[in-house]
């Protein structure tokens, strides 16, 4: 298969393994990355997918061929790769993970020496090297040995603990149910919570990549943990995806808080405690605007994609960032989405407020959001978007990332996905009926 069959974006590259994501293509991208950083130390970690060893060994070959010193972190959280790039003063890192995608997918995420996902301009340089196949090839004398370093879990946990009020949380002795989906966070997440004095009921903690359900932490996928939270009479439930960058929150009644609520809850604590601005993307909920206004701080919005959010976060010096879908970026720990940071901030909020999680959630304004996936078939995505720009030209629109229509009673964001061959349509208003009406309006115009 050709490189054009891959999904290439600011999130890295991803595809289904075996047919599109072949060892040959993985090798090219690993050689491209080794060439881009001009050799040096590179840390590599992977989630637990069954294709992980195949992908990892192809990555190792490409890096070694370009003179890199490879450090194997083993199975770990994606944010642990970012943390270890900084700790080991590496020239970069590669995380092998398709995050929330189903088991047949895998992906490469590229991290620079600052411990952040490659910014768009750096990613473009890398992809140009791969497309032109202008790789470094070192002689046998310059091929290094692979080193192993499995201390990432401990390093990561200690870093988060250093930046949250540990004793405040310990005093509450929270009972927490966590679903690790047999993914990269299966060991780290329960251990982190135990370090906070929590009574931990851990589900699906064998990192064999056999996901017990779809790994994206959405309501429809979380039946098991919702029932377990109620059964155990737990204070809160946490669900992570395959590489533990996304976090879903379940309240004490076994109700999923909503994928937009993770960042909002973390922000409710962080913006109040640190009086910092927040950076997010154009698709994230307007609840974040309410949290920012409540704390008299600014909110900044970028194009969708962690690389875009981090780039703007750095330029604005925001102390918190993230995206809807359960991604929280807490710079004192790492400038990548990190569920440990998200859990730590949310438990800090729970301890500080001394209320049930459902009571805290009820303090937020009620909004109704629909996230619609539109399979475009043979239709050209950009042709559809250009037509919609003409249809809505008389309204208040933002065209930085697809098209966002901003109205007095809500908003509509229509954009091509960074990770899948679809159009995403996100609609949010204060009324369930109006949200559906806005979605129907857009779908009718497309049809």
Q: In the CATH scheme, what architecture does the domain 155-361 have?
A: 3-Layer(aba) Sandwich (3.40)
- Report the CATH number of the 3-150 domain: 3.40.120.10
Would the CA dihedral through 81, 83, 84, 88 be positive or negative? positive
Output the DSSP codes for 372-419: EEEE-TTS-HHHHHHHHHHHTTTS-EE-SSSEEEEETTEEEEEEE-SS
pLDDT over 80 at 438, yes or no: yes
- Best CA proximity match to 285, nearest among 381, 183, 374, 361: 361
Q: What pTM was estimated for this model as a whole?
A: 0.95
The catalytic position among 99, 284, 286, 348 is: 99
What pLDDT is recorded for position 378?
65
Of the candidates 159, 164, 160, 157, which has an alpha carbon nearest to the alpha carbon of residue 185?
Answer: 157
Ordered DSSP codes for 225-282: HHHHHHHHT-SEEEEE-TTS-BEEEE-TTS-B--TTHHHHHHHHHHHHHH---EEEET
- Per cent of the chain over pLDDT 90 is 89
Q: For the ranges 124-133, 231-240, 410-419, which has the lowest average pLDDT?
A: 410-419
pLDDT for 250: 98
Instruction: Return the higher-pLDDT residue of 194 and 4.
Output: 194
CA 176 – CA 194 distance, rounded (Å): 10
| 25: its two tokens | 């293509």
What is the mean pLDDT of the segment spanning 162-168?
98
Q: How confident is the model at residue 24 (pLDDT cuts 50, 70, 90)?
A: very high
Cβ pair 53, 81 in contact under 8 A: no
Is the pLDDT score of 2 beyond 60?
A: no
φ, ψ (nearest 5 deg) of residue 109: -115, 130
pLDDT for the residue numbered 422: 84
Alpha helices in 74-174 (DSSP H): 78-87, 120-132, 152-161, 166-172
Query: Distance between CA atoms of 446 and 432, rounded to whole angstroms?
Result: 22
At 419, the pLDDT band (50, 70, 90 cuts) reads low
CATH 3.30.310.50 region(s) of the chain? 368-446
Residue 74 confidence (pLDDT) above 80: yes
285 catalytically annotated: no
pLDDT at position 19 is 84
Q: Is the pLDDT of residue 3 over 60?
A: no
For the cut 50, the answer to whether the pLDDT of residue 142 exceeds it is: yes
Specify the domain boundaries for CATH 3.40.120.10 within the chain. 3-150, 155-361
User: What integer is the mean pLDDT of 331-352?
Assistant: 98
Averaged pLDDT of the chain:
95
pLDDT at 8: 84
- pLDDT band (50, 70, 90) for residue 435: very high
Instruction: Report the range of poorest mean pLDDT among 213-222, 232-241, 283-292, 371-380.
Output: 371-380
Average pLDDT for 428-433: 97
pLDDT digits (tens, 9 = 90+) for 279-315: 999 999 999 999 999 999 999 999 999 999 999 999 9
Mean pLDDT of 45-69: 97
Residues listed for the chain = 447
Task: Report yes or no: 245 and 337 within 8 Å, Cβ to Cβ.
Answer: yes
**Under 8 Å between Cβ of 91 and 62:** no
pLDDT at 381: 83
Per CATH, the architecture of 368-446 is what? 2-Layer Sandwich (3.30)
pLDDT of residue 375: 84
- CA–CA distance from 194 to each of 45, 173, 365 (Å)? 24, 10, 33
pLDDT digits (tens, 9 = 90+) for 111-138: 999 999 999 899 999 999 999 999 999 9
pLDDT for the residue numbered 1: 38
CA 121 to CA 102: how far, in whole Å? 29
* pLDDT confidence of residue 217: 97
């Amino acid at each position: 298969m050709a490189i054009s069959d891959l999904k290439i974006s600011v999130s890295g590259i991803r595809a289904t393994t075996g047919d599109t994501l072949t060892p040959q293509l993985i090798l090219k991208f690993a050689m491209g990355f080794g060439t881009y950083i001009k050799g040096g130390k590179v840390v590599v970690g992977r989630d637990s997918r069954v294709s992980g060893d195949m992908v990892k060994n192809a990555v190792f070959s490409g890096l070694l061929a370009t003179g890199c010193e490879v450090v194997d972190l083993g199975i770990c959280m994606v944010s642990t790769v970012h943390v270890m790039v900084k700790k080991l003063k590496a020239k970069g890192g590669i995380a092998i993970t398709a995050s929330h995608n189903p088991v047949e997918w895998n992906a490469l995420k590229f991290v620079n020496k600052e411990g952040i996902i490659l910014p768009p301009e750096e990613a473009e340089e890398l992809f140009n090297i791969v497309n032109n196949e202008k790789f470094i090839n070192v002689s046998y004398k310059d091929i290094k040995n692979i080193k192993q370093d499995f201390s990432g879990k401990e390093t990561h946990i200690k870093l988060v603990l250093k930046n949250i009020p540990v004793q405040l949380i310990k005093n509450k002795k929270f009972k927490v149910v966590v679903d690790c989906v047999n993914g990269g966070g299966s060991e780290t997440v329960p251990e982190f919570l135990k370090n906070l004095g929590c009574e931990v009921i851990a589900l699906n903690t064998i990192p064999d990549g056999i996901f017990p359900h779809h790994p994206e932490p959405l309501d429809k996928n979380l039946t098991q943990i919702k029932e377990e939270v109620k059964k155990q009479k737990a204070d809160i439930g946490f669900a992570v995806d395959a590489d533990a960058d996304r976090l879903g929150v379940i309240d004490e009644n076994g109700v999923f808080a909503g994928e937009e609520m993770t960042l909002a809850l973390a922000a409710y604590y962080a913006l109040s405690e640190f009086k910092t601005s927040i950076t997010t993307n154009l698709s994230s909920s307007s609840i974040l605007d309410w949290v920012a206004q409540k704390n008299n701080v600014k909110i900044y919005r970028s194009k969708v994609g962690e690389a875009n959010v981090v780039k703007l976060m750095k330029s604005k010096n925001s102390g918190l960032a993230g995206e809807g879908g359960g991604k929280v970026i807490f710079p004192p720990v790492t400038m990548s989405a990190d569920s440990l940071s998200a859990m730590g901030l949310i438990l800090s909020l729970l301890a500080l407020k001394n209320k049930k999680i459902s009571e805290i959630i009820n303090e937020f304004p009620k909004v109704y959001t629909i996230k619609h996936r539109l399979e475009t078939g043979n239709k050209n995505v950009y042709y559809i978007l250009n037509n919609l720009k003409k249809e809505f030209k008389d309204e208040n629109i933002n065209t930085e990332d697809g098209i966002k229509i901003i109205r007095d009673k809500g908003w509509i964001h229509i954009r091509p996905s960074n990770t899948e061959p679809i159009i995403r349509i996100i609609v949010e208003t204060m009324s369930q009926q109006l949200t559906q009406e806005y979605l129907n309006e857009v779908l009718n115009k497309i049809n």
